[in-house]
Homo-oligomer: A and B are copies of this chain.
Amino acid sequence: MEAKRLILALFLLFLLSKSSAFPSRKSRVHKPCKRLVFYFHDIIYNGKNSKNATAAIVGAPAWGNKTILANQNHFGDLVVFDDPITLDNNLHSAPVGRAQGIYVYDKKEIFTAWLGFSFVFNSTEHKGSINFAGADPLMNKTRDVSVIGGTGDFIMARGIATLMTDAFEGEVYFRLRVDIQLYECW
């Protein structure tokens, strides 16, 4: 009698283990192991805002220059940035980290970009970095890039980040909302 009950308990445990070890497509897709939302703020150098600028054009096509984003939807402009990360959408909130890396406008017909960058944290809340890469079709309301790795608190992280243009002013300031969904966490 006892043996049977033990077997039953064991079997249930076994099933439980199986369901965790082989998650259905659905459950994996819908349950990030970590989710974080941030804003970051990009102020491109335009020849006059050197004190406030957090980004600068460092590569440009033959028809471009380093202080004005180029014709043809900025195709070919390569920008380096060190942008403050905030918890809300206020540029003047205390930064919780820095978004650092490059983006490049990569299409003549519409605004699109390619991004390679990191979120760098060094606070009591988070220490370490999250690394991102991917295409950013700016005209879409939301667009996803890949989380390709992490260090420190985010070591071995993988997942996606959903970008949304939260605001922009002319061609100098823009603010992105980033919804990070990690599907691999340590």
Residue in B14, B47, B64, B148 whose CB lies within 8 Å of A146: B148
A47-93 interface (Cβ within 8 A of B): 47, 56-62, 64-67, 75-78, 80-82
Q: Does A124 contact B (CB under 8 A)?
A: no
A29 to B11, CA, bound (A): 31
Q: Does A123 contact B (CB under 8 A)?
A: no
Oligomer copy total: 3
Q: A10-B7, A144-B129, A159-B156 are in contact. Are A106 and B100 (CB under 8 A)?
A: yes
Range of interface residues on A (Cβ < 8 Å): 35 or more
Q: Identify which of A47, A56, A60, A137 gathers the most chain B CB atoms within 10 Å of its CB.
A: A56
Residues of B within 8 A of A7 (CB): 3, 6-7, 10
A185 to B106, CA, bound (A): 28
